[in-house]
Amino acid sequence: MTFVPLSEVGKGSRTVSPGGERKRLPPWFTVRLSQGPDYREIRRTMDRLGLHTICEEARCPNIWECWNNRTATFLILGDICTRRCHYCAVTTGRPLEPDREEPLRVAEAVQALGLRHAVITSVNRDELPDGGAAIFAETIRHIHRLIPTCSVEVLIPDFEGNKEALASVVAERPDILNHNIETVSRLFPSIRPQGKYARSIELLDRAKRAGARTKSGLIVGMGETVEEVRSVMRDLRTAQCDILTIGQYLQPSKEHLPVARFYHPDEFEAFKTEGLALGFSHVESGPLVRSSYHAEKQVSS
């Protein structure tokens, strides 16, 4: 087992300046490299069942820790996204037709791995009338049927504001319904040009009113101010969002948005304190935090 500075780990773990030169990361960015038996079993299971994980597609720096703890986030509806968010490493393009057998294979993977908590997310599928909501709903149903003791968290897109699509997912009673706000209102047009800040807040509010336990996530370091972060936190609480994650943006490649600044761990701790004071039941906040980080611990919080 080795501790390595994140800037030295693979193509997905470095931060690159706009000119292509590697930008040195602060000293608190280190990861533990270890491909233990649980890591290898998850890899084999995903390969055998032809499944994707957001851990790999988004080049998550926590993949070694999470997979060694038997935690992985399934990526459904393929691995090609119809949107181009300027911070995201997921491939953009024209997706293939949805795989109607995928929901069952995800449930079989959850069963084979003996997971107690399953996290399901997807690419955006704006070309589909329901944005892929039916595949989400079917995946939840299969997991509940095959592994009734396993809790289910879904990290959904905005479905372009389709109320019926959201309702079909909420109706399957996931334990947590997550939709990441990602950034502050001012930066949405430039960073998430196909998304809408108000639409995301409205989705979380509607899901909560329908009885879901809701969650959202923020990435900081993309040009926002601290006060803007606080404003997002207040907006999420106005929508009665239950759980919040906050993590540091890391530039996946020179084609992506450059890092505006690195937040110190003490600042992340301050965000956590402020979030709990606002009324979030759980706040996961730190440089390497991503939306599914320690997700299994948030179910009962």
CATH number (domain holding residue 67): 3.20.20.70
pLDDT of 13:
38
Which of helix, strand or coil describes residue 280? coil
Buried b (16+ CB within 10 A) or exposed e, 63-97: bbbbbbebbbbbbbbbbbbbbebebbbbeeeebee
78, 83, 92, 134, 295 from 96: Cα distances, Å: 7, 14, 12, 16, 29
Which domain, by its residues, includes 276?
2-297
pTM score, whole prediction: 0.88
What percentage of the chain carries pLDDT values higher than 70? 85
Q: Which residue has the higher pLDDT, 23 or 124?
A: 124
How many helices (DSSP H) and strands (DSSP E) are in the chain? 10, 12
Number of domains in the chain: 1
pLDDT of 89:
83
* Euclidean distance between CA atoms 189 and 194, whole angstroms: 8
Residue 49 phi/psi, 5-degree rounding, is -95, 0
Q: Which residue has the higher pLDDT, 44 or 268?
A: 268
Give Cα 168 distance to the centre of its chain.
20
**Tens of pLDDT, residues 44-101:** 888 899 988 877 766 666 665 676 666 778 899 998 999 999 998 888 999 999 999 9
What does the radius of gyration of the chain's CA atoms come to, in whole angstroms?
Answer: 18
